[in-house]
Amino acid sequence: MTGEPALSARPFRRRAPLLAVGAVLAAGGAATRPFSWSATVLVVVPVVVVSVRAFHARPEQIPRTARLRRGVAVWSMLLVTASVWEVYAFARQSDWTRPSDVHPTLSTLLDPALEQWPLRFAGWLVWLGAGWWLVSR
């Protein structure tokens, strides 16, 4: 009896379906052929769902400081630069279903490291987890 509150199973019960959906999505994504339309759909669906969740969230008010403005400016510039590179490289590929060595996207660069199914599954889990973490913070 230390006076600490007992751990509740309630947060896990709310997260269990979400974790199950994430595991199924990661397994499905790892099972698809890279750069196929099914893999693209499995990327677009979570991005849309998480983006909708992010836009509907009511963030807490954070005091606006010069440091925060600089941080937002730097991270926004990095995000826009990476996004422009990805879109440009993807649009310049001669065939959108096959990777291009001339115009590699981030997926093309990571593909050799994620060739094996367990590593692809882990990569999908990391990608889904990072996206959810970014949105829910």
| pLDDT value of residue 80 | 95
| pLDDT value of residue 81 | 95
Q: How many domains does the chain have?
A: 1
Q: Which residues contact 99 (CB under 8 A, 6 or more apart)?
A: 34, 35, 93, 105, 107, 108, 111
- Asked whether residue 84 is domain-assigned, the answer is yes
- Asked whether residue 120 is domain-assigned, the answer is yes
| pLDDT value of residue 7 | 52
- Asked whether residue 72 is domain-assigned, the answer is yes
DSSP line for the chain: --SPPPPPSHHHHHHHHHHHHHHHHHHHHHHSPTTSHHHHHHHHHHHHHHHHHHHH--PPP----HHHHHHHHHHHHHHHHHHHHHHHHHHH-S-TTS--SSS--HHHHHGGGG-SHHHHHHHHHHHHHHHHHHHH-
The most distant pair of C-alpha atoms in the chain lies apart, rounded to whole Å, by 67
Surface-to-core class of residue 26, CB atoms within 10 Å of its CB (0-12 exposed, 13-18 middle, 19+ buried): buried
- Asked whether residue 10 is domain-assigned, the answer is no
- Asked whether residue 8 is domain-assigned, the answer is no
Local confidence pLDDT in tens for the 137 residues of the chain: 455 555 555 666 777 888 888 899 999 989 988 778 898 898 898 889 888 877 887 777 888 899 999 999 999 999 999 999 888 888 888 887 777 788 788 878 888 888 888 999 999 899 888 887 877 76
- Asked whether residue 29 is domain-assigned, the answer is yes
Segments forming the whole domain that contains residue 29: 15-55+66-136
- Asked whether residue 129 is domain-assigned, the answer is yes
- Asked whether residue 4 is domain-assigned, the answer is no
In this predicted model, what pLDDT tens digit does every residue of 31-48 receive, in sequence order? 988 778 898 898 898 889
